[in-house]
Structure 1
Amino acid sequence: MYSALVLASASALMVSTVFGQSLTINSFGGAYEDAHRKCVIAPFEDATGSTVEIVTAYSADALARLRAQRDAPEFDVVHFSGGQEIVAAQEGLLLPIDEASLVNAGDLYDIARSNLEGGEGPAYSIAAIGLVYNVEKTPQAPQSWVDVLDPIYGRHLVLTDISNAYGMLGFLMINQINGGDLGNIEPGLDAVAELLDGGAVVVSTSPELQRAFAEGDAWLAPYASDYAFTLRSSGLPANFAQAAEGAPASFITASLVVGRDNKDLALQFIDMSISKEAQECFAHELRYSPTNMTVELPDAVAADVAYGAGAASGLLRFDPTVIEANRSDWVDMWNRTISR
């Protein structure tokens, strides 16, 4: 359905037919890659007559490849989900993008196109971090990050290890509501210690989180919007709430790589990625939050994502470069806290 919609909208993009040309991109494997093919890759190939070669490479690996291949990069378009486009742009690995070269750029929220001229590609989806809760067990839908601290949850609160990207963002929000910032995470660690004393548990991966919900022990977990949909799809009574203080967000971006000779085709691919139709498809398939303000979602889908101008204004982005610079030390401090 959505492939057809994207193809039908090709006339709204700067699409030219380029039979015989190809692009090489990275994608993230699994269900994400399936959705990527459905929402962008297959429609793009149909619309342009080109071929898209996919290398499964997660963000950290993709950045490592760019660095190692600086003189002969394999990717035309590189996708990141952890802010690596900021680092890659600073290192001269990404090309600046003229906003005028993307027909759909004007439809993006400002947060999704804040530094195109600096080489940071646009965000075409967002994983918003908020409060995933059990609708049958939770007394009322949580509305604030402060609710995480409520003793009523006790052993029914599930935290995620900060070695997990979503766990890191949830922790930084707990740190912030307790008076901390990126220069001081002690308030967050003190809060986590108190929560653990109250019975809260820590998991490391999404499957562990799902198991906790399946066993009925989990009532509340700071985690990503898309995972509430994953839980519900498996038959569990889970919903997502975007807290009043805002939702830290993992931006999924598409950037133009330096040193490749098919820039125009790569820009067409990026343009389709940020289109209304492609983002509606991602929201339906994976419950990622759209960055295109023209997206229209039915209520059932909208309830699982950060949707609309009001919700978009509540999205927060902790500086990925600061996180990366401190990650090792913070993980050590976290490990000492949860093991004592």
Structure 2
Amino acid sequence: MFDRRSLLLGSGALAAGAIPRTARASGGRVIMATWGGGSSKRFRETFAGSFTKATGIPVTIAEVPDPAAVIAAAQGRPQHNVIIAASFQAGTLAQKGLLEELTEDEIPNIRKIPEQFWVRNAAGKLIGMPMYFLFYGIAYNTELAKAEDFPSWKVLAEPRWKDKISITRPVFLAPYDLTLYAKLNGGDETNIEPGIPMLRAVAKNAGTAYTSMASLQQQLATGEIVAAPYYSGQIQNLRQAGQTSIAMTLPADGGLALSYMLAVPKGAPDRAAAIRFLNEAIDPQKQLETARSGFLPLTTTTLPPDIERDLGTTVEKVRQGTWSPNWFTIAEKFEERVRLVERIITEAR
């Protein structure tokens, strides 16, 4: 169920940064909904100021618990005209007719992004601008395991890892783990059946489940669990903060490229200003600054050595070793697959 408090929080942030009518009349405004903490800080410092300086269009960055949930709760009457969302979330919103359909000519800078990351709806229209990606790999406690212990995702189902791994919630297991396991066993995002036995086996091995980033990081740091499927950006940020007892590896059989995108809610005000913000967000310098926060560039921007050191690999190896599924296809079956995964988890207990 969507949290309607998201909408209230978004409204409060908006009111605090209200834009004068004269500014809106001169070229519109951008009101972007994003997660709080590092995400809002990144967009405020890296994107908002430079965009306003270049265009004269004011930008308000509104912190909300979940931008996608805010748009779903608004039911076609959004207060924000730009949101950041995981690609599968954007696909789910588009399924419900809650995102603007876009063309390549409206956001021509999308051509700088590899097409594997573009997300189109059933009509072939773009539903947003891909921004950056994380890779989904295996995080592990460096005092209890090493990267060589995880040459393949399939080892997570081996008896030696019984009660030593953690898994996430069904709403993420369904689009991420189940899809990846299907791919590794001959299926794909349209055919997830081959992935079900592997997910069931991994779930039976899980000693616990993590419900937040902080909870898994604590589980790993204390040795409560040894390893877990996790997000590269989170580990990169931990290592930047001096946490060396947790590392990330990308198994030889690959991983998922989890892309995030900017989208324009259907019926939002100042559509032209919002689309311009999307188009100008893809800038090499902005991509580099975003990479320092744990998010990898979708363009061919080269990362400096210090970022790749914290990442534990090169961005080129990550690009070559990850797979980006069709997130719109995943969104079409999202609720059905979440229910399937819930049954699998219940049976594994």
Q: From 273, 278, 283, give the equivalent of 1:265.
A: 273
Report the Cα offset of residue 56 of structure 1. 2.8
**Could you say which residue in structure 2 is the equivalent of 1:307?**
315
**Could you say which residue in structure 2 is the equivalent of 1:237?**
245
What is the rounded CA distance, in whole Å, between the counterparts of 1:246 and 1:65 in structure 2? 36
What is the rounded CA distance, in whole Å, between the counterparts of 2:56 and 2:95 in structure 1? 34
What is the rounded CA distance, in whole Å, between the counterparts of 1:84 and 1:223 in structure 2? 18
- The 5 A counterparts of 1:57-96 are 57=64, 58-66=66-74, 68=75, 70=76, 72-96=77-101
Identity %: 20
**Could you say which residue in structure 1 is the equivalent of 2:220?**
213
Q: Deviations 1:246-277 (Å, cap 9, x if unpaired)?
A: 32243211123333453332222112322222
For the Cα contact (< 8 Å) 1:155–1:217, is it kept in 2? no
Q: Given the alignment of the two structures, is residue 325 of structure 1 paired with residue 322 of structure 2, yes or no?
A: no
Unaligned runs of 5+ in 1: 1-17
Q: From 287, 298, 307, give the equivalent of 1:279.
A: 287
**Could you say which residue in structure 2 is the equivalent of 1:13?**
none
Paired residue secondary structure (2:209): strand
Unaligned runs of 5+ in 2: 1-24
What is the rounded CA distance, in whole Å, between the counterparts of 1:172 and 1:311 in structure 2? 18
What is the aligned length? 314
Q: From 97, 105, 113, give the equivalent of 2:118.
A: 113
Paired residue secondary structure (2:47): helix
**Could you say which residue in structure 1 is the equivalent of 2:233?**
226
What is the rounded CA distance, in whole Å, between the counterparts of 1:97 and 1:193 in structure 2? 39
**Could you say which residue in structure 2 is the equivalent of 1:39?**
46
Residues 256 and 168 of structure 1, relative CA distance in 2, 3 Å threshold: closer
Paired residue secondary structure (1:280): helix
Paired residue secondary structure (1:125): strand
Report the Cα offset of residue 185 of structure 1. 5.5
**Could you say which residue in structure 2 is the equivalent of 1:161?**
169
**Could you say which residue in structure 1 is the equivalent of 2:302?**
296
What is the rounded CA distance, in whole Å, between the counterparts of 1:78 and 1:242 in structure 2? 29
What is the rounded CA distance, in whole Å, between the counterparts of 1:80 and 1:262 in structure 2? 20
For the Cα contact (< 8 Å) 1:124–1:252, is it kept in 2? yes
Q: From 230, 235, 254, give the equivalent of 1:246.
A: 254
What is the rounded CA distance, in whole Å, between the counterparts of 1:325 and 1:154 in structure 2? 29
Report the Cα offset of residue 297 of structure 1. 0.5
Report the Cα offset of residue 322 of structure 1. 4.2
What is the rounded CA distance, in whole Å, between the counterparts of 2:80 and 2:164 in structure 1? 44
What is the rounded CA distance, in whole Å, between the counterparts of 2:71 and 2:147 in structure 1? 42
**How big is the alpha-carbon RMSD for the aligned residues of Structure 1 and Structure 2?**
3.1
Q: Deviations 1:267-302 (Å, cap 9, x if unpaired)?
A: 2211232222222111101x1122112x11123323
For the Cα contact (< 8 Å) 1:119–1:255, is it kept in 2? no
**Could you say which residue in structure 2 is the equivalent of 1:22?**
29
For the Cα contact (< 8 Å) 1:26–1:75, is it kept in 2? yes
